[in-house]
Amino acid sequence: MDYQRILDEIEQEVRPFTSQGRVADYIPALARVPADKFGMAVETVEGETFSVGDAAEAFSIQSISKVFTLTMALQFEGDALWTRVGREPSGNPFNSLVQLEYESGIPRNPFINAGALVLADVVLTHTANAKASVLDFVRALCARSDAGYDLDVARSERDWGDRNAALAHFLKSFGNLHNDVDAVLDAYVHQCSLVMNCLDLAKAFQYLAHGGVNPLTGQRLMTPSQTKRTNALMLTCGVYDAAGDFAYRVGLPGKSGVGGGIAAVMPGHWCVAVWSPGLNAQGNSLAGTQALELFTTKTGISIF
């Protein structure tokens, strides 16, 4: 498979789409990112790497980080985690309060904001320093000791994160946050502000293509069953309330973020990451989704 030729073709074909999306301007630090950026990277399970465009440019991964904190939470609590978080698509915006009220404070899945706040709470409970623990975990996945937080983005999210604060207080009122609300929010906005590039993400997601083992270290991070189920959750819940359309068009488990990144997995084959800041109505990268659709079409490889 000539992955480099395919990526070069995709870059040319999706460039017109970069001007059609809208950056996440409700977070001021993200609003300043140029919308015309596009990068894409593929890392195979054999360790081959291919990239195009702005694949080496760092960006705020936002909700993609929820895959990492889910992995950590499962390490800490195993299946007991599912007493506090559901596993169903929400069908509502990622920051909706509505379901949380009539479902008694149990978030519908770990990838909506309420669910990710519970994950942050779990990490806080089990580590002395949640922010440092998440950072160490991610650095080990992508072999980048300089991976870090964008503190400007973290401050911006906290200053403009009234909806997330409301979700956290709501969860606390139902007894589904065990730590101080401000501490949970601080951990959460920092994980969302993680700065990585497409090359980093394609490498960091490799354990989900390797049955739960980090190929860089040989360390088992998840059981094969947990890995299968995490990939299933990404397929059904990983792109907000556009999971059906994404599965139809792309056919891969994936996780998006409002910074314009999407990371996706073909178990046993490769991981692919794409970044283009302009978002569609559901909060997913418009050009990025198009690029992933072209990638699975041109390679003829998807989970279906």
Choosing from 258, 265, 272, 274, the catalytic residue is 258
Per-residue CA distances from 65 to 47, 274, 293 (Å): 22, 15, 22
Of residues 180, 174, 201, 161, the one with CA closest to residue 58: 201
85 is catalytic: no
**Which helix (H) or strand (E) is 43 found in, with range?**
strand 39-44
Question: Do the beta carbons of residue 303 and residue 235 sit within 8 Å?
Answer: yes
Determine the Cα–Cα distance for residues 23 and 219; give it in Å rounded to an integer.
37
188 is catalytic: yes
Determine the Cα–Cα distance for residues 260 and 59; give it in Å rounded to an integer.
8
> What residues are paired with 255 via a beta bridge?
263
Determine the Cα–Cα distance for residues 199 and 207; give it in Å rounded to an integer.
15
Choosing from 23, 33, 60, 63, the catalytic residue is 63
Per-residue CA distances from 126 to 19, 60, 72, 153 (Å): 43, 25, 10, 25
Choosing from 90, 118, 131, 188, the catalytic residue is 188
172 is catalytic: no
Choosing from 23, 33, 65, 66, the catalytic residue is 66
Choosing from 23, 156, 240, 285, the catalytic residue is 240
**Which helix (H) or strand (E) is 270 found in, with range?**
strand 270-275
Which residues belong to the active site?
Answer: 63, 66, 188, 240, 258
